[in-house]
């Protein structure tokens, strides 16, 4: 009898874990949607700034900031093992 109760308990735990996993997955999807919307808003604001230049190769950047203290913001493409980045 004790072994049967233990097996039922373990089955319940496994089932509860699967339920939690589904809930976690739903939360991740909702968070990704929120992050995407927030990122779109931020990118729209950035693109309206004179100092933001999107994705530029380093060679092009050098000519745009000739004076000491000048700056611009540019996007860097994602590499393997690294997500998209911003360079100042």
Q: How do the domains of the chain map onto residue ranges?
A: 1-48, 50-88
Phi/psi at 15 (5° precision) = -65, -45
Q: Residue 14: what pLDDT? A: 67
How many C-beta atoms lie closer than 10 Å to residue 12's C-beta?
A: 10
CB neighbour list of residue 77: distance below 8 Å, 6 or more residues apart: 55, 84
> pTM surpassing 0.85?
no
pLDDT value, residue 5: 61
- What is the per-residue pLDDT across 13-62, written as a single tens digit (0 to 9) for each? 666 655 555 667 777 777 777 667 777 888 888 888 887 877 788 888 88
Q: What pLDDT sits at residue 53?
A: 78
Contacts of 78 (CB under 8 A, 6+ apart): 84, 85
Q: Which of 63, 50, 52, 59 is nearest to 87 (CA)?
A: 52
Token output for 48: 């309206």
pLDDT tops 60 at residue 67: yes
Backbone angles phi, psi at 70, to 5 degrees: -65, 150
Distance between CA atoms of residues 64 and 71, nearest Å: 8
């Amino acid at each position: 009898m004790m072994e049967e109760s233990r097996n039922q308990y373990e089955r319940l735990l496994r089932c509860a874990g699967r339920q939690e996993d589904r809930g976690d997955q739903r939360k991740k999807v909702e968070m990704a949607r929120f992050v995407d919307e927030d990122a779109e808003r931020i990118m729209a604001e950035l693109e309206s700034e004179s100092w933001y230049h999107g994705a530029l190769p380093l060679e092009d950047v050098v000519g745009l900031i000739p004076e000491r203290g000048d700056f611009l913001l540019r996007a860097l493409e994602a590499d393997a093992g690294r997500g998209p980045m911003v360079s100042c």
